[in-house]
A and B are shown apart, each in its own frame.
Chain A
Amino acid sequence: MLAHEFIRNAYLAGTGVALACGLVGWFTVLRGQVFAGDALSHVAFVGAIAAAVVGVDERVGLFVLTLGLAAVMAGLGRRAQADDVTIGVVFSWVLGIGVLLIAVLSTGSSGGNGLIVANTLFGSIFGLGVGQGIAAAAIGLGVVLAVVAIARPLLFATLDPELAGLHGVPVRVLGLVLLLLIGIVTAEGTRAIGALLVLGLIAAPAGAALRLTSKPYLGMALSAAIALAAMWGGIALSYVVPSLPPSTAIIALAVGAYALASMASTIAL
């Protein structure tokens, strides 16, 4: 299986994306910001379509839009956590712009537009080139290092914002940094497993880890490990069963891990 170059690229990119999603996801779930992550990942698709309309590299559109919206969300809410209604109104509007851009795209060019839309929404991890694989792995590694670097103060700011503020922890800045990291992760994850599905790697492994353990560092490691296992297993599964799309296989494993963890924690109680 590893003799195929596209599989090697998928594993390279997938590893970076999964580790980053698992770690960032743990904080996202702990802070109750899954809806923000959901909004960021869904607008990523608009960024990709916009890039196709303007004619620049897909990544430019993805990162500009997710990072921009992350900054807007941080600016709108107290403690850099936007209200869920505000998130909903803003991001449904951005999706509406996406529809407009699809229409612009399909009047401008004849074929290929449906494929761009489908790839953006559901990813194409088997279609990544060597350079894209290395870039995804590098970005993933960068996000992992960033999360590890701010883990302690961010944890403090999450569990007790008032006390953390009194101790001089920059609570607002940390909230913004986390949203920006979610933005980076969703932009990169969109290319691998799609704008609609990347939320699965953010929410499911972290949700499972938080059900299994309340120890922070163990939980973070567990979340990253579950995400990685889902990614590796999903790619292999989809290689073995060709009619199963890789994104579906990866998400199925992540959701399965979450379901098992919920059952285990229910039984343990």
Chain B
Amino acid sequence: MSNPTLSWNLVKDVHELLAYQFMVNALEAGTIVAVTAGVVGWYMVLRRQSFAGHTIAVMSFPGAAGAALAGVPSAFGYYVACGVAALAIGRSGGAARRGGGRESAAIGVVQVAGLALGYLFLSLYSGVLEQLQTLLFGTFLGIDRNQVLTLLLVAVVVLAALVVVGRPLLLASLDPEVAHARGVPVRALDVGFLLILGLAVAATSQITGALLVFALLVAPPAAAQALTPRPGLSLVLSVVFALLVMWVGLGVSYFSIYPLGFFITSFGFALYLVAKLARYAAARLARDAPPGEPAPAAAV
């Protein structure tokens, strides 16, 4: 791949791209990550837990730095750090999405504690300035078969857990009081969801990096929820959007000298803008049209 150039023949381009094993690995890993992020992110956006999600996402930085210092595989560090952060946030109430200032302060404190530790690990483990950028902004090069298999395993666990708790979690997210009255263990679901989020984030950030995993978690679901208030449809849309952003991002960044993270965040942002504009236009139409069909509910 000395000099990849994009031709107008898309079939040929894709064919060229798939000729490399590292690209096939990247596409497989990206697909797994996108499906997981699309589903988990959908619940995160629905529950208004973006701040918690972002905080758990950046925890993979201290995780990886600590693992490098301790001499264990970095994936191990990712999972431990994200799990600990999920528990710490869950312990502090998990109610930050309801806008409580003190809870959001607690999440912020968890985040900077983790980042400060990460910086300490990094400076103790001297000479990894180059790695810092990879940790924070990710790389899709050099993903091997074992990583793909691990990602697949994590994705299956995460998705299976969400299949089991999906319906009660949806109820608990939309209306905690009613859910509690019906005997749904709201509090346990709060912590459980944060742990699922932590697992998904730890897996995803190995490819997208600690700072950009969040883009994949928030933009596709936010776009999907802006387009339709129906849970099932927007969940499917969210996964489709995440896959689209990931595949197009990988394809473009193969032919470009610029990093994957930029393309993923930009395509995600563009999707979100288009979805918002579409909803705005639909709302205008619905207002002008005679009443009958209710305007889409404000999901975002």
**Also in contact, A96 and B109, with CB within 8 A (given A84-B50, A121-B136):** no
A74 proximal to B (CB < 8 A)? no
B contact patch SS? helix
Residue of B nearest to A265 (CB): B102
Q: Are A102 and B111 in contact, CB atoms less than 8 angstroms apart? A: no
**Also in contact, A206 and B116, with CB within 8 A (given A89-B272, A92-B218):** no
A100, A203, A206, A247, most chain B CB atoms within 10 A: A203
Cα–Cα, bound, A103→B259 (Å)? 7
Q: Which chain B residues border A93 with CB–CB below 8 Å?
A: 215, 219, 265-266, 268-269
**Also in contact, A95 and B211, with CB within 8 A (given A88-B222, A103-B259, A200-B116):** yes
Interface size on A, residues (CB 8 A): 58
Selected from B106, B119, B219, B266, the residue in CB contact (under 8 A) with A122 is: B119
Interface 1/0 per residue, B80-123 and A, CB below 8 Å: 00000000000000000101111011111101110111011001
Q: Which chain A residues border B99 with CB–CB below 8 Å?
A: 32
Cα–Cα, bound, A194→B266 (Å)? 25
Selected from A84, A86, A199, the residue in CB contact (under 8 A) with B108 is: A199
Residue of A nearest to B115 (CB): A196
B20 proximal to A (CB < 8 A)? no
Q: Are B258 and A103 in contact, CB atoms less than 8 angstroms apart? A: yes
Q: Are B51 and A255 in contact, CB atoms less than 8 angstroms apart? A: no
Report A29-57 residues with CB < 8 Å from chain B CB. Answer: 29-35, 37-38, 42
B261 proximal to A (CB < 8 A)? yes
Interface size on B, residues (CB 8 A): 54
- 9-residue interface stretch from A5-13, A112-120, A170-178: A112-120
Residue of A nearest to B58 (CB): A196
Cα–Cα, bound, A252→B116 (Å)? 7
Q: Are B262 and A203 in contact, CB atoms less than 8 angstroms apart? A: no
Selected from B53, B108, B117, B212, the residue in CB contact (under 8 A) with A95 is: B212
Report A202-258 residues with CB < 8 Å from chain B CB. Answer: 202-204, 206-207, 210-211, 243-245, 247-248, 251-252, 254-255, 258
B130 proximal to A (CB < 8 A)? yes
Q: Are A89 and B218 in contact, CB atoms less than 8 angstroms apart? A: yes
B163 proximal to A (CB < 8 A)? no
Residue of A nearest to B210 (CB): A196
B124 proximal to A (CB < 8 A)? yes
Report B54-80 residues with CB < 8 Å from chain A CB. Answer: 54, 58
A162 proximal to B (CB < 8 A)? no
Q: Which chain A residues border B115 with CB–CB below 8 Å?
A: 196-197, 200, 251
**Also in contact, A88 and B101, with CB within 8 A (given A103-B259, A114-B129):** no
Selected from B113, B214, B262, the residue in CB contact (under 8 A) with A255 is: B113
Q: Are B107 and A34 in contact, CB atoms less than 8 angstroms apart? A: yes
Q: Are A83 and B300 in contact, CB atoms less than 8 angstroms apart? A: yes
Residue of B nearest to A39 (CB): B54
Q: Are A85 and B48 in contact, CB atoms less than 8 angstroms apart? A: yes
B172 proximal to A (CB < 8 A)? no
Q: Which chain A residues border B45 with CB–CB below 8 Å?
A: 85
Q: Which chain B residues border A32 with CB–CB below 8 Å?
A: 99-101, 104
**Also in contact, A96 and B120, with CB within 8 A (given A34-B105, A85-B300, A114-B129):** no
Q: Are B106 and A35 in contact, CB atoms less than 8 angstroms apart? A: no
Q: Are A207 and B50 in contact, CB atoms less than 8 angstroms apart? A: no
Residue of A nearest to B223 (CB): A89
B102, B104, B263, B272, most chain A CB atoms within 10 A: B104
* 19 additional A-B residue pairs with CB within 8 Å, beyond A196-B112, A197-B112: A33-B101, A34-B105, A35-B108, A88-B51, A89-B218, A92-B212, A92-B219, A92-B269, A96-B265, A99-B262, A100-B259, A100-B262, A199-B112, A200-B116, A204-B112, A247-B116, A251-B113, A251-B115, A258-B105
- 24 interchain pairs (CB within 8 A)? A29-B101, A32-B104, A83-B300, A88-B222, A89-B272, A93-B266, A96-B263, A99-B262, A99-B265, A100-B262, A102-B133, A103-B262, A117-B133, A118-B132, A194-B119, A197-B116, A199-B108, A199-B112, A203-B108, A204-B108, A207-B102, A207-B106, A245-B123, A255-B109
